[in-house]
Amino acid sequence: MMQMDRRPYMDEFEKLLVRMNTPRVMIDNAGCVNATLVMIDSARKDRILLEAVQVLTDLNLLIKKGYVSSDGRWNMDVFHVTDLGGNKLTDNNIINCIQHSLGTIRNTRSKSIDGMTAIELTGTDRVGLLSEVFAVLSELKCDVVESKVWTHNGRIAALIYLKDCDSGCSIEDSQKIEKIEARLRNVLKGDNDIRSAKTSVSMAITHTERRLHQMMFADRDYERSANIKTSGECDHSPLVSVQNCLEKGYSVLNIQCKDRPKLLFDVLCTLTDMQYVVFHATINTTETGAYLEFFIRHMDGTPISSEAEKQRVTLCLRAAIERRASEGVRLELCTMDRPGLLAEVTRTFRENALNVTRAEISTTMGTALNIFYVTDALGNDVDSRMIESVRQGIGSDCLRVKELPFRNQQKGENEEQHGGGSGLGGAVLLSLGSLVKKNLYNLGLIKSYS
């Protein structure tokens, strides 16, 4: 009996598998007058929306509008993005990076930590804590290569990447690692945090900000908002509401808050950590703020079932939005890196009763590029004379005062269709964006798609 050649069929099957596992990405600058359109068409998989938004935010792009629609098996996501200046994307390197990163999204990983040791810290925040942490690391001959530190509701979470000062490599000595952990745990405990102070060595390759959200969520920082208020909290507190759409089987989540970079990423991190799945969403930003609406379910397909759960979702999402929106003056340090630099700088902050509410530490080609947000001990704005005194103590030529990293200075939202797009690519992508909105409208999930 003749053996049939099955290879052509296998080729078609392999092509189908590739299409199912490889998102299709389209980018166009003609379909919208004031933003670049990014459309992602993919098979529905857990966390793919979060990973797509992570790619865009890691490139320092702003998501001005967005539409997410899923029919259960396929996703279609359309984002209107700009650079930090509110301009369309014109750099071909950025555009190519978006296409490559989104097109291989299932294979994306964050930066490798090869050659570094990652230390995770959580505990009760206090004035001078960061100074004590960096002093211990300096004493133990650890070089801080990179670090990000967040504080919220009296809690602190830090992810610190270290090298051994002597070898210039990751710390392999298990006894030294144990000593580092023990010393830092004692610093975090202070006099009144015996239970919740935690230190650990992370061996996994992880996205730093993604991990910080997980650490603060696990530390339940959202539960302390009733007892601790930060400066300006009443003016900038996000509005979050949760309702059930029983006829569609969804829970509807609405968020209204001040717009800022990485807002959507922060919200999606927490929804993912809470084991919710986003089926449909609309994102809109204007000069007055950001407006986000999500249609979500538990991973088992059920909506939120109780008022207590709704309250927990509200608290957790408020915390997710507030963690990055630190109050305080932004100070930027740019100088040649040297052993003990961070210990010296943060000691100067402590001696002047300045509290570090957020920090971003990086080292590039022997140059330290560090950002600190500081307030006074009570969380209020720091007097300009105090800031000048600190600058003189550290070096006014290397420590500069900057405004907050982002202020929404857009003159207003232009009509997206005004001026129109030209060319086949613009027409196709604009049509796809309209299709997503139309699907949301037909499902009764938005009031209009015109």
Per DSSP, 327 falls in state -
The residue range of the domain holding 58 is 19-108+420-442
Query: Which of 303, 324, 345 corresponds to the end of one domain?
Result: 324
14 belongs to a structural domain: no
What tens-digit pLDDT sequence spans the chain (450 residues)? 445 555 555 566 555 555 556 788 999 999 899 999 999 988 877 788 999 999 999 999 999 999 999 876 788 999 999 999 999 999 999 999 999 888 776 544 444 466 789 999 999 999 999 999 999 999 999 999 999 999 999 999 999 999 999 888 888 888 999 999 999 999 998 766 655 678 888 766 678 999 999 999 999 999 864 445 444 444 568 999 999 987 889 999 999 999 999 999 999 999 999 999 999 999 999 988 999 999 999 999 999 989 999 999 999 999 999 998 767 899 999 999 999 999 999 999 999 999 999 999 999 999 999 999 999 988 888 988 899 999 999 998 999 998 643 433 333 344 444 444 444 445 445 555 555 555 555 555 555 544
Burial pattern 270-309, b for ≥16 Cβ within 10 A else e, equals bbbbbebbbbbbbbbbeeebbbbbbbbbeeeeebbeeeee
φ/ψ (deg, to 5) at 15: -65, -40
Distance CA 12, CA 16 (A): 6
Which CATH number does the domain housing residue 187 bear? 3.30.70.260
Per DSSP, 289 falls in state E
Q: What is the pTM for the complete model shown? A: 0.82
Asked whether 295 and 281 are in contact (CB, 8 A), the reply is yes
DSSP secondary structure letters along 164-208: ETTTSS----HHHHHHHHHHHHHHHHTTT-TTT-EEEEE-S---H
Distance CA 252, CA 442 (A): 16
Please tell me the number of Cα atoms within 13 Å of 282 on its side-chain side.
20
> How confident is the model over 21-64, as pLDDT tens digits?
678 899 999 989 999 999 998 887 778 899 999 999 999 999 99
Same domain, yes or no, for 221 and 334?
A: yes
Same domain, yes or no, for 284 and 333?
A: no
Burial of 449 (C-beta count, 10 Å sphere; 0-12/13-18/19+): middle
Same domain, yes or no, for 213 and 127?
A: yes
Residue with tokens 């919200």: 267
Distance CA 226, CA 238 (A): 14
DSSP secondary structure letters along 229-277: --TTHHHHPPEEEEEEETTTTEEEEEEEE---TTHHHHHHHHHHHTTEE
Here the tokens at position 338 are: 């040297």
Domain count, the chain: 3
Same domain, yes or no, for 127 and 150?
A: yes
Rounded to the nearest 10 degrees, how much is the dihedral formed by the CA atoms of 223, 229, 235, 237?
Answer: -10
Question: Partners of 375 in the beta sheet?
Answer: 355
